Amino acid sequence: MPKLLHLSCSPRSDSESTAGARIFLDGFRQARPDWDIDVMDLWRERMPEFVGPIVEAKYARMKGQAFSDPQAAQFAEAERMAMRFSLADRVLISTPMWNFGIPYKLKQWFDIIIQPGLTFRFDPAQGYLPLLKDRPTLVILASGSDFATGMNRGRIDMATPYLREALRFIGVSSVSFVPIGPTAGPAEPIRTARDSAHRRLADLAKRF
């Protein structure tokens, strides 16, 4: 059965990114009823802290050294999370923008799965090479400012380039973004931005 993996990155059930994901998934289920949808809520998912044995395992792998038992156990967690991503035929990431970037839980997820020999490798002649296959990936990014039209009031979007580059590094380059913003300020611009994004998401769901 083909699978869509949804990385849900907001701690709020009523957030704009979560609402956008619901619109998209409702349409996706109607268009592809035979697909399995695997929801990974990063605020409820068990993820190892990137400290201690898992960091030691990363450097042991880079040096070609054998794992200790604690390192092997922690690296197995990284393998489990990377495999869940690798098995997905399509990926949906719904996330808010926090302080110009991404929530720390999403950054933690990237830190865990971006491991040598797991999602990338290094070749002395060619440099860093991805190990995962490309797959269509959609990012719903909600922000307080309006980055789609440039009315961002001096704020900088560092989330979009980070996500694009982190995914490219492990092999995923077919990435599309649907911004939702502004999500703060006067009611009318918020409503207009939300309605526009929801229409686009409903349309994308039919052909994603």
Question: Which domains can be identified in the chain, with CATH numbers?
Answer: 3-205 (3.40.50.360)
Q: Are 71 and 56 in contact (CB under 8 A)?
A: yes
**pTM of this prediction?**
0.95
What pLDDT was estimated at residue 150?
65
Average pLDDT of the chain? 94
Coil, helix or strand at residue 25: helix
Q: Which residues, given as ranges, of the chain have pLDDT below 70?
A: 150-154
Strands (E), the chain: 3-8, 36-41, 90-96, 120-123, 127-130, 137-142, 175-180
C-alpha of 18 from chain center:
13
Q: Are 6 and 25 in contact (CB under 8 A)?
A: yes
Report H helices in 87-186: 104-113, 159-170
C-alpha of 102 from chain center:
9
DSSP tag of 127:
E
Coil, helix or strand at residue 180: strand
What pLDDT was estimated at residue 151?
59
Pairing verdict, β 175-180 and 36-41? unpaired
What pLDDT was estimated at residue 62?
86
Cα gap 140→9, rounded to integer Å: 10
